[in-house]
Amino acid sequence: MTGGFFITGTDTGVGKTCTAIALMHALQRQGKTVLAMKPVAAGCLMQEGGLKNDDALALQSHASLPLPYPLINPYAYAEPVSPHIAGAHNPVQLAVVTRQFALLKSQSDCVLVEGAGGWFSPINSGQSNADLAAALTLPVILVVAIRLGCINHARLSQLAINQSGLPLVGWIAVCTEPNMSYQQDNIAFIGACLAVPLLGIFPYLSVVDFDFLANQLDISALGIGCPPSIS
């Protein structure tokens, strides 16, 4: 049975895309066919006749199979604002996303789905990333940006994920600041609070190296390859 994970973060700009690509590399090393999608993206630029998002393009380029861009990012919005505002003219429909996810799922061992912003960030006027994850019935991986305020953000995110009924199966610490004081102390405290596997710590990098980041991951806690979806 094919499966996947929903990748959410404590905020926007915390390293979800880098995390997704590093996870793709780690799973591909196990011989898995891994695809990824970013269903909703704002701040897209016109490229080759359509609106495209840099993060979604990166996911597309690292996938195990060549895929048409609209399958990876069905909702691409030009304005760099919250999707419920940017997409007022073409709001996200969960049924569209779930159909496209099913297509990816049928072609792969694992699909990684990157959310837009944090867990409760809106994707349309009435639904959030939490609703999207629930519609896809995927276990969740939480990306925590290690910076001032990260403990509160991580614990609130965990509480919200738990209340949704979806399993939080692991978290990844992304060091977004080069010289944060007591960085390791914060990571240790968050790990004790979350009480789910720490899948990896990504040190601050001025230039991203996905193979290096994949080496920082221990995905054994996720089981062999990917678990099935929870539906």
Q: What is the CATH number of the domain that holds 189?
A: 3.40.50.300
Name the burial class of residue 95, with classes exposed (0-12), middle (13-18) and buried (19+) by CB atoms within 10 angstroms of its CB: exposed
Residue 1: what pLDDT?
34
- Residue 227 pLDDT greater than 80, yes or no: no
- Residue 170 pLDDT greater than 50, yes or no: yes
Confidence band (pLDDT; 50, 70, 90) for 230?
low
Region of 49 please: left (phi>0), alpha (psi -120 to 50) or beta. left
Residue 3: what pLDDT?
84
Residue 23: what pLDDT?
97
43 C-beta neighbours (distance < 10 Å), count: 15
Indicate the number of domains in the chain: 1
Known active-site residue 38 = yes
Residue 224: what pLDDT?
52
| 52 domain residue, yes or no | yes
Provide the residue range defining the domain that includes 217: 3-222
> Among residues 16, 32, 38, 52, which one is catalytic?
38
Q: 3-class DSSP state for residue 112?
A: strand
Per the prediction, the chain carries an average pLDDT of 93
The arithmetic mean of pLDDT across residues 57-74, rounded, is 97
| 231 domain residue, yes or no | no
| 64 domain residue, yes or no | yes
Confidence band (pLDDT; 50, 70, 90) for 2?
very low
- Residue 231 pLDDT greater than 50, yes or no: no
| 228 domain residue, yes or no | no
- Sequence-distant (≥ 6) Cβ neighbours of residue 108 within 8 angstroms: 2, 32, 33, 34, 35, 64, 65
The arithmetic mean of pLDDT across residues 5-15, rounded, is 95
Angle (CA) 168 176 164, round 5° = 20
| 92 domain residue, yes or no | yes
| 156 domain residue, yes or no | yes
Residue 225: what pLDDT?
47
Residue 49: what pLDDT?
84
Q: 3-class DSSP state for residue 20?
A: helix
Residue 48: what pLDDT?
86
The arithmetic mean of pLDDT across residues 91-119, rounded, is 96
| 229 domain residue, yes or no | no
- The share of the chain scoring above pLDDT 90, in percent, equals 90
| 148 domain residue, yes or no | yes
